[in-house]
């Protein structure tokens, strides 16, 4: 499949490095946006990466005593932070204060006796020497949650909110990546980097996509890329006299073939030697070749690519947009969740709209407001200084990276209105003629006949939604119109919905907007609510513990 066409004390979490952990309250939004300096994407990436290098992953027996476990590990140095989580067993993520502690821990770690491929990774197993005699303390570890809440819990929370705007904020709070989950994502990349380093010492494995762009939802896949560029930059050429030394390397016919060969060996390596890496698939003929695997211990579905700096740059751009105004992420989460609930998106590649495309649509919509909520990519480019200059494979990817240089928007429209207007805008968009273009921030004539055209912000000749079929687009348009209509009805008063009865965003996430519309057309508004209420009941009855309908991508 062509994927791209398609120091704190022990146990206490430090102040989050990520700015998206801040509570996005829309009372704060009105004129008093948080003024704390916002970190650059590259700073966040570097800090997280360094933190992950001081961290180990330990599979633990269930009856482990947290206190004794920490005491045992702190022989190797102070522990900054730790947490436990469940995923096919109990695991602990332990961050030491210093990197040397990891080496010390590894030198005190046994290689198992059974026939095994010896690999001294940072993924370890804790064994109890005397399993019978140990637990004087009851096992008391609190496991942190790495998956999204069930759809029932989510709907209940939404129904208890005070307004539609509050519902959007609630959804964001419930679904966004937690501090622990972000740590686990960076740690997983760091562990994969250790395996890749067997072939390419000094390589870097970086997360990108929704794990880092602040639009990721608990349970989303982990996109990572193998960065070999740094290796080339390591030496400082000495040009004494008339000589210059160059490394002898093997030449291959093209960059693409080089990428395929590198990913092929790394794929083999992960398959044969990567602790906890299972189901390794090499998908090398895709436009962007990748190795897909599942990292069992973290529970992440991973997509490893190479030579993919542009995608990292687009993650940085989305991070920037997400940080500029607190309404952006709330709106994107709701739209993504809405699309997933109605099967407009899927975890299987196909003719569906992707989350990446939906995010672009939200950004574009916010650029079109008056006054605009988000600046165009062209204007971000105009604000760039010399050090922001970035050209990747001939594509100009320059934009200002210091968030503090961008003026906040004067637009104060509430989330509730924006959600309704989003549906209305795209319910009536001239998709047959126009292309969505966040660089210019205005519609442009479509350069080809693909049903949905969203220009790739950096590789401007590419359409990021080339895979989308006419029928999928039509489904999106129909659902958008119906959702706008439903929100409009809500806004027009009538008796306030009874508590716990799905209303506002909750009603939009229920399976059958269409049915409720045709019913309510005939019988006004109450029966529609009755209908969603009974749908909610049926979800509860049939599947009390079902994962949220918005699972996966």
Please give the residue ranges that form the binding site for ligand CTP (CB under 6 A): 4, 208-210, 213, 216, 220-221, 223, 311, 314-315, 354-356, 464, 553
Which is nearer to ligand CTP, 45 or 314 (by Cβ)? 314
57: helix, coil or strand?
strand
Q: Measured over all CA atoms, what is the biggest interatomic distance in the chain, rounded to whole angstroms?
A: 90
Q: Which of 408, 393, 409 is nearest to 313 (CA)?
A: 393
Q: Residue 286 Cβ, how far from ligand CTP at the closest point, in Å?
A: 11
Which is nearer to Mg ion, 347 or 470 (by Cβ)? 347
Q: Which of 44, 76, 298 is nearest to 187 (CA)?
A: 298
Q: Residue 293 Cβ, how far from Mg ion at the closest point, in Å?
A: 14
Rounded to whole angstroms, how far apart are CA atoms 184 and 207?
11
Which is nearer to ligand CTP, 65 or 307 (by Cβ)? 307
Which is nearer to Mg ion, 223 or 227 (by Cβ)? 223
Which is nearer to ligand CTP, 193 or 223 (by Cβ)? 223
Q: Which of 283, 312, 351, 100 is nearest to 225 (CA)?
A: 312
Alpha helix stretches (DSSP H) within 410-496 = 415-427, 470-491
Which is nearer to ligand CTP, 81 or 213 (by Cβ)? 213
Q: Residue 509 Cβ, how far from ligand CTP at the closest point, in Å?
A: 17
Which is nearer to ligand CTP, 4 or 91 (by Cβ)? 4
- Residue 490 touches Mg ion, criterion: CB under 5 A: no
Q: Residue 216 Cβ, how far from Mg ion at the closest point, in Å?
A: 7
- Residue 221 touches Mg ion, criterion: CB under 5 A: yes
Interface segment toward Mg ion; rule CB under 5 A; list 53-61, 219-227, 441-449, 472-480: 219-227
Q: Residue 374 Cβ, how far from Mg ion at the closest point, in Å?
A: 22
Q: Residue 337 Cβ, how far from Mg ion at the closest point, in Å?
A: 15
Q: Burial of 351 by CB count in 10 Å (0-12 exposed, 13-18 middle, 19+ buried)?
A: middle
Which is nearer to ligand CTP, 4 or 20 (by Cβ)? 4
Which of ligand CTP, Mg ion, none sits in contact with 314, Cβ below 5 to 8 A by type? ligand CTP
Rounded to whole angstroms, how far apart are CA atoms 274 and 199?
13
Interface segment toward Mg ion; rule CB under 5 A; list 110-118, 221-229, 286-294, 454-462: 221-229
Which DSSP symbol is given to 325? -
Contact pattern for Mg ion over residues 158 through 197, marking x by CB under 5 A: ----------------------------------------
Which DSSP symbol is given to 250? -
Name 15's Cβ contacts closer than 8 Å, sequence gap at least 6: none
Contact pattern for Mg ion over residues 408 through 427, marking x by CB under 5 A: --------------------
85 bridge partner residues: 91
Q: Which of 473, 526, 530 is nearest to 496 (CA)?
A: 526
Rounded to whole angstroms, how far apart are CA atoms 447 and 450?
9
Q: Burial of 266 by CB count in 10 Å (0-12 exposed, 13-18 middle, 19+ buried)?
A: buried
Q: Residue 5 Cβ, how far from ligand CTP at the closest point, in Å?
A: 7
Which is nearer to ligand CTP, 65 or 314 (by Cβ)? 314
Which of Mg ion, ligand CTP, none sits in contact with 429, Cβ below 5 to 8 A by type? none
Rounded to whole angstroms, how far apart are CA atoms 44 and 177?
15
- Residue 209 touches Mg ion, criterion: CB under 5 A: yes
CA neighbours within 13 Å on the CB side: how many for 427?
Answer: 15
305: helix, coil or strand?
strand
Q: Which residue has the tokens 């960076």?
A: 186
Rounded to whole angstroms, how far apart are CA atoms 508 and 422?
13
Q: Residue 220 Cβ, how far from Mg ion at the closest point, in Å?
A: 6
The torsion of the CA quartet 229, 233, 235, 238, rounded to 10 degrees, works out to 130
Which of Mg ion, ligand CTP, none sits in contact with 367, Cβ below 5 to 8 A by type? none
Which of Mg ion, ligand CTP, none sits in contact with 91, Cβ below 5 to 8 A by type? none
Which of ligand CTP, Mg ion, none sits in contact with 356, Cβ below 5 to 8 A by type? ligand CTP
Residue 174 phi/psi, 5-degree rounding, is -75, -35
Interface segment toward Mg ion; rule CB under 5 A; list 210-218, 224-232, 344-352, 538-546: 210-218
Which is nearer to ligand CTP, 101 or 463 (by Cβ)? 463
Which of Mg ion, ligand CTP, none sits in contact with 315, Cβ below 5 to 8 A by type? ligand CTP
Q: Residue 223 Cβ, how far from ligand CTP at the closest point, in Å?
A: 4
Which is nearer to Mg ion, 363 or 539 (by Cβ)? 363
Q: Burial of 423 by CB count in 10 Å (0-12 exposed, 13-18 middle, 19+ buried)?
A: buried
Which is nearer to Mg ion, 359 or 529 (by Cβ)? 359
Record the tokens describing residue 102, joined without a space: 């990891």
> Considering only residues 80, 101, 210, 305, which one is a binding residue for Mg ion as defined by CB under 5 A?
210
219: helix, coil or strand?
coil
Rounded to whole angstroms, how far apart are CA atoms 163 and 501?
13
Q: Residues touching Mg ion: how many (CB under 5 A)? A: 4
| Angular region, 152: left φ>0, alpha ψ -120 to 50, beta rest | alpha
Binding interface with Mg ion (CB under 5 A): 209-210, 221, 223
């Amino acid at each position: 499949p062509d994927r791209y066409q398609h120091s704190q004390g022990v146990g206490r979490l430090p102040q989050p490095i990520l700015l998206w952990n801040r509570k996005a309250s829309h009372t704060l939004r009105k004129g008093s946006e948080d003024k704390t300096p916002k970190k650059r994407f590259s700073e966040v990436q570097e800090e997280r990466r360094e933190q992950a290098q001081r961290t180990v992953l330990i599979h633990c027996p269930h009856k482990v005593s947290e206190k004794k476990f920490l005491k045992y590990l702190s022989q190797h140095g102070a522990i900054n932070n730790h947490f436990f989580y469940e995923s096919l067993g109990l695991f602990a993520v332990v961050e030491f204060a210093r990197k040397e502690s990891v080496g010390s821990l590894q030198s005190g770690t046994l290689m198992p006796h059974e026939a095994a491929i010896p690999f001294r990774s940072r993924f370890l197993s804790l064994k109890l020497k005397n399993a019978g005699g140990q637990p004087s303390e009851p096992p008391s570890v609190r496991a942190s949650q790495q998956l999204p809440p069930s759809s029932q819990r989510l709907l209940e929370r939404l129904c208890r909110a005070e307004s539609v705007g509050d519902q959007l904020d609630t959804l964001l709070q419930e679904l966004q990546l937690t501090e622990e989950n972000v740590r686990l994502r960076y740690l997983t990349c760091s562990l994969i980097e250790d395996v890749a380093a067997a072939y390419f010492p000094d390589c870097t494995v970086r997360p990108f996509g929704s794990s880092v762009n602040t639009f990721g939802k608990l349970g989303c896949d982990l996109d990572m890329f193998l960065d070999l560029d740094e290796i080339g930059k390591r030496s400082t050429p000495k040009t004494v006299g008339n000589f210059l030394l160059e490394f002898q390397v093997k030449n291959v016919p093209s960059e693409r073939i080089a990428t395929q060969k590198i990913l092929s060996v790394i794929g083999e390596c992960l398959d044969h030697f990567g602790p906890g890496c299972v189901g390794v698939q090499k998908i090398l003929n895709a436009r962007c070749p990748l190795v897909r695997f599942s990292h069992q211990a973290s529970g992440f579905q991973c997509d490893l690519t190479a030579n993919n700096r542009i995608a990292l740059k687009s993650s940085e751009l989305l991070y920037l947009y997400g940080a500029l105004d607190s309404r952006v992420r709330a709106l994107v989460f709701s739209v993504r969740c809405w699309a997933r609930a109605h099967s407009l998106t899927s975890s299987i590649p196909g003719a569906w709209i992707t989350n990446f495309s939906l995010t672009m649509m939200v950004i574009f919509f916010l650029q079109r407001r008056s006054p605009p909520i988000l600046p165009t990519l062209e204007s971000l480019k105009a604000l760039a200084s010399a050090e922001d200059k970035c050209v990747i494979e001939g594509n100009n990817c320059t934009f200002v990276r210091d968030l503090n240089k961008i003026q906040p928007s004067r637009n104060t429209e509430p989330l509730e209105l924006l959600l309704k207007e989003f549906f209305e805008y795209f319910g009536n968009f001239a998709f047959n003629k126009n292309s969505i273009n966040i660089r210019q921030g205005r519609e442009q004539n479509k350069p080809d006949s693909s049903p949905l055209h969203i220009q790739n912000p950096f590789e401007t000749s590419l359409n990021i939604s080339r895979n989308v079929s006419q029928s999928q687009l039509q489904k999106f348009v129909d659902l958008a119109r119906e959702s706008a209509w439903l929100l409009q009805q809500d806004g027009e008063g009538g008796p306030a919905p009874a508590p716990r009865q799905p209303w506002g965003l909750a009603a939009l996430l229920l399976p059958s907007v269409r049915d409720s519309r045709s019913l309510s057309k005939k019988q006004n508004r109450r029966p529609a609510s009755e209908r969603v209420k009974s749908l909610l009941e049926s979800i509860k009855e049939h599947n009390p513990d079902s994962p949220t309908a918005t699972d996966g991508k």
